[in-house]
Structures are given as C-alpha cells and as structure tokens.
Amino acid sequence: MTVRAQDLLLGLVPLALVIALWQALVSFGYAPATLLPPPGLVFRRLAQQLTTLTFEQDVAATLFRLFAGFLIAVVLGVTIGIAAAASPLINSAVRPVVRVLAPLPKVALYPALLLLLGFGHGSKITLVTADALFPILLSTYYGASTVEQKLVWSALAAGTPPREVLFKVILPAAAPSILTGCRIGLVISCIVVFLAEMITSTDGLGHVLVTAARTFQAVDMFVPLITISLLGLILNGALGALRSYLLRGFPEV
Amino acid sequence: MRSRFIPGTRAAPWLACLGLLVLWQIAALALKNDSFPTAWAAIRAIPLILADKEALINILASQRRMTIGFAVAIVVSVPLGLMMGRSRAVASFFNPLLMVIYPVPKAALMPIIMLWLGVGDLSKTLVIFLGVSLPVIYHSFEGAKSVEEKMLWSGAAMGLSAAQRMVRIVLPAALPEILTGCRTGLVLALITMVTSEMIARQSGAGNILFNALDMGEYDLVFAMIIIIGAMGICLDAMFETLRARLVRWSEPQFDMPLSFS
Amino acid sequence: MNVLPSRTEAKAQPVRAPGQATAMIEIDHVSQMFQTSARQDHLALSDISLTIEDGAFVSILGPSGCGKSTLLYIVGGFVSPTQGSARMKGRAITGPGPDRGPVFQEFALFPWKTVLGNVMYGPRQQGVKAAEAEAQCRALIEMVGLKGFEDFYPKELSGGMKQRVALARTLAYHPEVLLMDEPFGALDAHTRTRLQNDLLNIWERDRKTVLFVTHSVEEAVFLSDKVVMMTRSPGRIREIIDIDLPRPRHRSELLLDPRYQKYVVDIERMFDDGPVQGSAL
Ligand SMILES: Nc1ncnc2c1ncn2[C@@H]1O[C@H](COP(=O)(O)OP(=O)(O)OP(=O)(O)O)[C@@H](O)[C@H]1O
Ligand SMILES: [Mg+2]
C-alpha cells in the first residue's frame, strides 16, 4: 500500500510540474494570456461550464456517439474475431479483408460517410465503430487462437460437448486479450468521436473546441480538451477496474 | 497444426481489395445516389488529382512532415519506453502524465498549436510527433517489461553494465514488440496528418478531400479516399516486410496456428 | 487436427465375460508423423502395438522426446494417429470422452476458476447436482492434501499444488481409464510418495485402468503391473517388462524386497545400454 502511495506521489510530480511550468509561462510574461490562459482560469472556467446546460448537452452528445460506436465495435469485433479463430473458412475470408482494412486511415472515409449517412449521429457513430473495431477484432482473434490446447482437451475429456467449448473455454480463456483490445478501442473511440465533431458538427465537445478556435477564445479551447482527457481517464479506469475484477484468476492482470 | 503454404496466400489481400471495390461498385449502382459515385468513376478521377501539380506537391510536403514527425517520435519514444519498462520509478513517474495525454486527440491540438507556432511545418510536424509517440512508448514499455529477469541476471553475471544490458539484451528482446508499436505509429502518423489537415484546412491530402466535398466534386472525394487508403495499406505492407526481416526469430503475432478447429 | 469429434462411440458399454481379463485399450500399429517448420516431417512414434488389460496399471518409460505424451494423446482421442488405430473396449477411439481422464504434464488448469471450481467442472458437466458435486470435490481436494486452498486461483499455487489439483480434477469425474503424463513430476519427494500411495489405494479400490508416463524407474516399478520401455526418437517399444510383485504393495516392505531392487537395477541398466535402434522385440 505504501509502495503504491509512493508511486502515486511520484506520478503526480510531472503533472504538478506541467501545471507549474504553465503558470510560470503566464506569470513571467513569456506567453500572453490570450494565447495561453493561466491554469487557474482554465479550471475555473471548466467548473463553471460543467454546470451550464448547453455544455452538459455537448458532453452528452459526445458520450452518446462514443458509447454507441464503441459498443457496436465490441459486438462486431468479438464475434468476427472468435468466428475467424474457430472456422478456417471464415478465417481465410476475414484475414485478407482485415489485412487491407486495418491499416486504412478510417478518418479518410469520413467524407464518404457524411455523403452516405448525412451529418447527424449516424456518420460519426459509424466512424467510431470503424476505428475501434480492428484493435478489438485483432486481439480477440489473437486471444482465441492462442488458447492453450490442453485447456480445450481437458474440458472435452471432462465431457463438455464440442459446441459448448466456445463459451466454456475459449471465451473465458481469451478474456484477458479481448479486454485489452476493448481498452485500446475505448481510448480510440474517445479520440475519434472528438475529431469527427471537430471536422463537422453542430454539437459535442469537438464542436465546442472549433467554435472557440474560430473566435480565438483560448480559455474555451482548453476546456473541451481537458474534459475529453478526464472522460478518457474515467472510462479507462472503469474498464480497468472491470477487467481486474473479471480476470482476478489470471496471472499479471 | 502448422499452417502450411497455401497457394494464393500472397494474392489474398489483392483479391480482398478487388472484392471490396466490386462490392462498392455494386452498392453504388444499386443506390443510384448522386453523391455516391461508383468505384470505377472514383478510380478514373485519380489521375486528375495526381496530374494537378500543386496538389501533388502538397501531398508530398505532407509526406515529408509525416516522415520527420515519425522519425523524431521513434528516436524519443523507444528509449523512454524501454527505461519505463525496466525501472519502476521511471514508469510511475511518467505513467499518470501519459494516462492524461492518452485520450486527448492529438490532431485536436492543431488549433491551439497553430495559435502558438503559426501554420508552418513546425506545428504540423509537432502534431504528428505527438500522435505517434504514445503507442510507441506503450509498446516499448510492454516489450521491455516482459523481458525475462533471468536473461538480465545472466547478462549481469557475464559482466555487462546496466547500459550495456539495455542495448544488448533489453532492446533486441523487446524488438518484436517495439516494431509492433512502430507499425501502429506509422499508420497513426498518416491518420494524424490527414486529420490535422482536415481541421486546419490549409493544404495536403485532408484539405483536398474536404475542398472537393465542399465543391460537390464527389468523384474527387472518393478518388482521394482511395489514394489515402492506398498510402496507408502500402506503408503498412512495407513496414511489415521490414519487420518480418528484422525479427525472423519471433513468432508472427497474427499468423498463429489455430488451436481449436 | 480434429479435436472436436463426437464422443458417442467411445462411451458404448462392452459385452464381456465376467472374470475374464479383457483388453481395455488396444493400440494397433500406431505411427505418428508431425509436420515441422524445418520442412522435414518428424516421425514421433513408429509402429507401436500395445494391449492394456482392464484394470491394469501400465507405465511408460523412455527418454525425453520419445513420444510418450503423444502416445497418451492418441489414447485420449486428442490426436488421431497418422497410421494405425487405437481402440477402447473394442471400439475405435474417435475423440475425447469422460471415460478416459487425462492428467496433463502442463496441468492445464482453468485459470479463471478456483481450485474448487476446477475440480467441480467435470462432475457439473456430467450433470451432478451442485451441492453433491461440491461435497465430493471438497473431499477429493482434502485427499490430495489441499484442504484450505479451495478458493485459491491456480496462479496462487505452487507447481506441485497445481499438479495435485489437476489430478483431483480428473479423478472427480470417475473416468474408467486414467491417462497420466508425469503427474508427480513437479512434486517434492514427500508429497510424491504420499500421492503414489494414494494413487495405489484408489487403484486397488476401483481397479481403474491406468496408463502412466514417468521418468522414474522406481516409480514405474513400484506402481505398475507392466512397464513399457520406449526407444529414443522415433519412439518404438523396446521392451515390455511384467512386474511380478505382490499386491497390495507397501512402500516400506517393497523397498527392502530384493525382487523390487532387481527390477529397478535391471531396467536402469537397460537405459545405460544406450539407444537401441530398431525393434528390440
Ligand atoms: N505438435 C507437434 N508438432 C511437431 N512435433 C511435435 C509435436 N508434438 C510433439 N512433437 C515431437 O514429437 C516428439 C515426441 O514428443 P512428446 O511430447 O510425445 O515427447 P515425450 O516423450 O512426452 O517427452 P517428455 O518426456 O520430454 O515429455 C518430440 O520429438 C517432439 O518434438
Ligand atoms: Mg511429455
């Protein structure tokens, strides 16, 4: 416990240093407040914004797109990943397509999605799904196809019907890998939803940043960035807690 | 069961490309939507972009910034990641900072960085650098962390100093993981580049894309998508070839034999 | 390889005359070839024929890499042999089934289940009620000396403890044939002796058929009716030695028995003779 506390303190040092440097830059006049507002001002503005309805609605819009896109990606990614690991036929079809689509910069598809699905939620959610899908799919496939063979054998020998092996052995054994993929996918979802909103949107955190940038409101530019960072931290922490609960049996969680 | 060489394995990605294009063609023909041109129309528009001298220069300039940003990021991130992986103190020093930065979209910093450093090469390269760094640090960290302790002990017993152990043992042992990080980083460099151009709307591939969108030249939009997509796939394939050469000894991660089928 | 075939055949009941020693497992001219990355195929087992009687305790001895585990996997139905066939009670083995319980060299415990969860897996799979299965399994866990560790996860156990859990997990679903791959390899001498005695007790009570792979000559002689010696790779049967020692066996008496000592010395001498290529039969 004390070691963890020490680690935590050590980790707070660079954060404190960054904020101190930031404050110093402003205080000693190296950066004009119009370009770099002092940290106190930014955090006060953040606290104030969090209580206004319009900002809350922007956060809600971002969260909705983020979760919708992420959840679709989880369902698709885990299903396709497991299917590709279980069936050689599906594998030989999925593998080349993934090979082509995974390195494709999905954000380049965004204009096409806008043309096809319009400027509303649909195009943004699809973009989030497209970006979060591949890390989840790949790590599911990896996890499922490297399950220790003897685990499967032990289950079969104990009388597990072959078609139940998927749920009784493969899925639980691949869980660490799947959850790692989900964690990466979640962070990517945070990033992508924000960017999509910046490129074109009428609401959401990304839109708040763009509006502020157009009017050169430096303070208001920092607020959505800090908000998305906090959102990412909270979601990541929640998923991490879920992960260590689900995987309490596995070594080195 | 070992996966045996199946004829057509090499052709499979090409077939997949072709299949996707055919699907697109059929979908476009079926939808008959003005703003959704057929694959063939988009392919025919590719020479239009590549023949436009200014556009080509812009794209090449973006590529140069991308390469520089990527290279600098590797040089900084790999040593940092390796040190974090081998020292608990270094890891707990940097971890929270990285955790805070991780979910921030790097391309979203573009407006702020432009405010400070102007719209020149420096800000664009800086954003790419930021975009690439984190996955490379993360993978180097994981790679160095999982180096077996016994290997380092035997290194120490052979009289290697701490720095020598880092270069002679940790670096090669973590290389497969580092290269995985670099591969992710390379694609991210391209993504960050395109996205920041979409946001800044100054020049480059992302800008051409949205200009065409605003002008209603849908063939050009989709042609540009093909170009960017091809860049991503080519970069990835090139890097994968290099990676396979460098770490022939390590089991390729996603080519594992199937263990239950 | 196909590890998910139907198990219905292997479960069928045999027709046999009472009192007569019938063949439980028949291994018939089995060869196993592996494809390796080194382009060249590797012959792991070559023309193995072996009959194991109902209720017999048979040990397999042989140098590392000679294909002992592979032979066990073939009997388990996990691997189908490249040539030849294996039968159980006269029926071809086409896949794994709860009539043959493996204890793997690598333990293969489910990391997401506790000790109790692992041991209860088989009985629950067979449809035993939870409360009943739990009571049985707790007793079994106590028997292998792990009382108090029921709620531990495998990662929290030592190698020897994991091996005992693996043994308990297999015993829990009462297979007719036990396929044990160096089950006591990772144990300290004391636990090893204790578990050998426990295994003998269980065996003398239930007369299960046991196919037992080991590196230890003493262990093989102490436990078995028959010791099968294999040659270096490619694995062939070199010699089958009947161990004609009285049962029930007690360690303290047996160690002093000159017949036991002679078996051990003879077999060890055979090992020292070095590799014998070709069939020594
Ligand atoms: N899946 C496989 N692919 C290729 N070769 C294999 C495979 N499994 C086993 N072999 C080879 O078959 C031979 C026999 O292996 P096996 O595991 O049966 O040996 P063993 O007698 O159990 O050895 P040990 O006493 O060390 O456990 C070895 O030479 C091994 O290299
Ligand atoms: Mg073995």
Picking from B126, B114, B111, B107, the residue whose alpha carbon sits closest to that of residue B65 is: B126
**Predicted local distance difference test score (pLDDT) of residue C277:** 46
Per-residue model confidence (pLDDT) at position A57: 93
The answer to whether position A65 is within a domain reads yes
Strand partners, C34: C42
Task: Provide the chain B residues 161-180 that lie in CB contact (below 8 A) with chain A.
Answer: none
Tell me the average pLDDT across C154-158.
Answer: 89
pLDDT digits (tens), chain A, 253 positions: 566 778 778 888 888 888 888 888 888 877 777 788 888 888 999 999 999 999 999 999 999 999 999 999 999 999 999 999 888 899 888 988 888 888 888 888 998 898 888 888 999 999 999 999 998 999 999 899 888 889 999 999 999 998 899 989 999 999 988 998 898 899 889 989 998 998 888 899 999 998 998 888 888 889 999 999 899 889 988 998 888 888 887 876 4
In which band, very low, low, confident or very high, does the pLDDT at B250 lie, cut at 50, 70 and 90?
low
Cβ C101–A157 below 8 Å, yes or no? yes
Place of tokens 């590709």: A84
Domain B34-246 in CATH 1.10.3720.10? The answer is: yes
Query: Is the model's pLDDT at C271 over the cut of 50?
Result: yes
What percentage of chain C's residues is helix, strand, coil (to nearest 5)? Answer: 35, 25, 45
State the Cα torsion C155-B253-B139-B238 to the nearest 10°: 180
Which of A:154-213 have CB within 8 Å of C?
154-160, 162, 165, 169, 172-173, 175
The H-or-E segment that residue B235 falls in is: helix B218-246
Average pLDDT over residues B147-168: 82
Domains of chain C: residue spans and CATH: 23-99+176-243 (3.40.50.300), 110-174 (no CATH)
Q: What is the CATH number of the domain that holds A67?
A: 1.10.3720.10
In a domain, A26, yes or no: no
**Position A206 in a domain:** yes
Q: Has residue B260 got a pLDDT over 50? A: no
Q: Judge whether residue C148 has pLDDT over 80.
A: yes
**Per-residue pLDDT at A216:** 83
Are residues A10 and B13, on separate chains, in Cβ contact within 8 Å?
A: no
User: Half-sphere exposure (CA, 13 Å, Cβ side) for B98?
Assistant: 19
Are the CB atoms for B133 and B71 separated by under 8 Å? Answer: no
Residue A109 near residue A197 (C-beta atoms within 8 A): no
* CA-wise closest residue to A68 among A24, A30, A125, A19: A125
Mean pLDDT over residues C159-188, rounded? 89
Give the pLDDT of residue B53.
87
- Output the average pLDDT for chain B: 83
Q: What integer is the mean pLDDT of B215-233?
A: 89
Question: CA-CA distance, B99 to A237, in Å (whole number)?
Answer: 10
Q: Is the pTM of this model over 0.90?
A: no
Give which of C74, C104, C173, C176 to mutate to test A binding, by max A Cβ within 10 Å: C104
Domain contains A33: no
Q: What is the count of structural domains for chain A? A: 1
Size of interface A-B (CB pairs under 8 A): 194
Mean per-residue pLDDT, C220-240: 91
Query: Nearest CA to B168 among B147, B137, B146, B138?
Result: B147
Give tens-digit pLDDT for C125-146.
Answer: 999 999 999 999 999 999 888 9
Among protein residues, the one with the nearest Cα to ligand 1's atom 4 is C34
Q: State residue B50's pLDDT score.
A: 85
In this structure, the residue with its CA closest to atom 28 of ligand 1 is: C65
Query: Phi, psi at residue C181, to the nearest 5°?
Result: -105, 100
The strand pairing partners of C228, in sequence order, are C60, C240
* pLDDT of amino acid B126: 92
Which residue is listed with tokens 């979640």? A186
Q: Which residues surround ligand 2, an ion (CB under 5 A)?
A: C 69
From C68, C106, C216, C237, give the residue whose CB has the most ligand 1 atoms within 8 Å, as the site to mutate: C68
Helical segments of B52-148, H only: 53-86, 88-101, 110-117, 121-145
Look up residue A154 and give its two tokens: 């032990």
Confidence (pLDDT) at C12: 40
10 Å CB burial of residue B245 (0-12, 13-18, 19+) is: exposed
pLDDT at B251: 53
CB within 8 A of A105, min separation 6: which ones? B187, B190, B191, B194, B228, B229, B231, B232
Residues from chain B that touch C35, judged by Cβ atoms under 8 A, are 1-2, 4
The ligand 1 site (C-beta within 6 Å) comprises C 34, 36, 42, 44, 62, 64-70, 105, 233
Stretch B152-172: mean pLDDT: 83
Whether residue C263 has pLDDT greater than 90: yes
Under an 8 A CB cutoff, do B195 and A199 touch?
A: yes
What are the pLDDT digits (tens) for A49-61?
999 999 999 999 9
For residue range B25-74, list pLDDT tens digits in order: 998 888 887 788 888 889 998 888 888 888 888 888 888 999 999 999 99
Mean pLDDT over residues B154-158, rounded? 81
pLDDT digits 0-9 by tens, B63-111 = 899 999 999 999 999 999 999 998 888 888 888 888 888 888 888 888 8
